[in-house]
Amino acid sequence: MTAPAARLEVRGITVRFAGLTALDDVSFTVEPGTVHALIGPNGAGKSTCFNVLSGVYRAASGSVAYGGREITGMPPHAVTGLGIARTFQNIVLTAGTVADNLMLGRHRLTRAGFAATALRLPGAVREQRRHRARAAEIAGFLGLEAHFDQPVGALPYGVRKRVELARALCAEPGLLLLDEPVAGMNPAERLETADTIAAIRAALGISVLLVEHDMGMVMRLADTVTVLDFGRRIADGTPEAVQQDPAVLRAYLGQEEAA
């Protein structure tokens, strides 16, 4: 049921807030099945870019296409329906159990209507059982099987971050947008999450667009890196090439360009 990975093409995206330009003519491409990192200093425009891609913000100009289909200006539920799922910098989970939260991720795949579900008609009940079984499978893939029926609010921070990742995966996306997935985690949790992201790409073949400040993780996982600074793209290429780019050394690492 996983949506096929498709090319994401971002072309000339500009976003302004009350006269402030948050993104200025930003372009990049996420190739199918790759891990693509979007990095830059605080305030560079990374989260704004994610909000445009997921339909939360509307760009003043430019276009976003996924699998050759224009998605610029689509509302979030329509973007999700195309097979694009995301996580957030801050944990966004509802009250209830891990299972409850993962079932929310199955919403785009649910075919039974509200009335059929409320009345527990046989077809709706069978569908709910299938979705719950798949949610349990994804929970197991992320090491959450022991927490599946536990209240989310009682879980440690690092586990709740994995629950949010599992919720996004439950939408069976072709493209997964991860906004600082290891923020606030301890070193062991960071390593575990990096391994999980690598396993997701390997096992499911989906594309991952990653915003992250942990440069060790970025350089380990990413096939391609795009660097933003003050809302503009200043570099784009392999991790090795980006690490040596003078503009990146100045803007991101605070180093002066060699004479």
DSSP bridge pairs for 57: none
Instruction: Look at the block and give the residue holding tokens 């999450």.
Output: 193
* Position 8 confidence tier, pLDDT thresholds 50, 70, 90: very high
92/59: higher pLDDT: 59
Query: pLDDT tens for residues 133-176?
Result: 999 999 999 999 999 999 999 999 999 999 999 999 999 999 99
Q: How far is CA 20 from the centre of its chain?
A: 25
Output the pLDDT for position 258. Answer: 41
Q: Over 70: is that where the pLDDT of 124 sits?
A: no
* Position 90 confidence tier, pLDDT thresholds 50, 70, 90: confident
pTM of the model: 0.87
Q: Which domains are assigned to the chain?
A: 1-83+174-259 (3.40.50.300), 94-172 (no CATH)
Least confident segment among 65-74, 81-90, 113-122, 188-197: 113-122
The C-alpha atoms of residue 83 and residue 240 are separated, in whole angstroms, by 30
- Considering only CA atoms, which of 258, 238, 237, 236 is closest in space to residue 246? 258
Question: Would you tell me how many other CB atoms lie within 10 Å of the CB of residue 7?
Answer: 16
**DSSP 8-class letter at 256:** P
Question: Which runs of consecutive H residues, i.e. helices, occur in the chain?
Answer: 46-53, 76-81, 98-105, 114-118, 122-141, 157-169, 187-204, 215-221, 239-243, 246-251
- Considering only CA atoms, which of 239, 245, 251, 213 is closest in space to residue 36? 239
Phi, psi of 154 (to 5 degrees): -90, 0
Output the pLDDT for position 252. Answer: 61
The C-alpha atoms of residue 25 and residue 39 are separated, in whole angstroms, by 16
Tell me the two tokens of residue 190. Answer: 């960071």
Tell me the average pLDDT across 27-38: 97
DSSP bridge pairs for 86: 177
Q: Which run of H or E residues covers position 9?
A: strand 8-17
Output the pLDDT for position 120. Answer: 62
